[in-house]
Copies of this chain bind each other. A is one copy, B any other.
Amino acid sequence: MAETGSAGGAGFYLEDLAVGQVFQSGGYRMEAEEIKRFAQQFDPQVFHLDEDAAAKSFFGELVASGWHTGSVTMRLLVDSGFLADGFIGSRIDVTWPRPVLPGDVLRIEAKILEVTPSKSRPERGRATVEVTTLNQRDEPVQKMTTTLLVHRRRER
């Protein structure tokens, strides 16, 4: 993952973040087998489990569970390493504007919307981040706003 116009895996702390910064990830290919395996465990509905049954369902084809898309988004966020102390969220707002299909290659863009130092805990703060998950045609398949805990750089 790279900050637009700079090196990847930034490992940023609270004082490094600024409103408007954008981070981008690598890609993650959604294989049909993984879509079905996730659904068997967590979202066993016909349109996530079987191509033939899905063809007769609301979606008309096999699609990934939204929770699968969200979990892959989390993986792309963690792999990006753009926050030095990891990704600890207390809140997410998510919409799924279009389905994820087998073979889609997902990537994310994470944009800093707000940076708020804590009043009571000087060593930390919060960042509100808009994370858009896009397919290989650059169409958004998930839009998420999340609030993350971010630490200041520790004195060494």
Contact = CB atoms under 8 A, between A and B. Distances in A.
Contacts of A72: 42
A45 B81 CA distance: 11
Contacts of A120: none
A88 B41 contact: no
Chain A at the B interface: mostly helix, strand, loop or mixed? Answer: mixed
Interface string A97-120: 000000000000000000000000
B91 A94 contact: yes
A67 B78 contact: no
Contacts of A45: 78, 86-87
Nearest to A93: B93
Interface in A42-89: 42-47, 58, 65-68, 70-72, 74-75, 78, 85-89
A83 to B, nearest CB: 11
A88 B44 CA distance: 12
Contacts of A44: 75, 78
A92 B90 contact: no
A4 interface: no
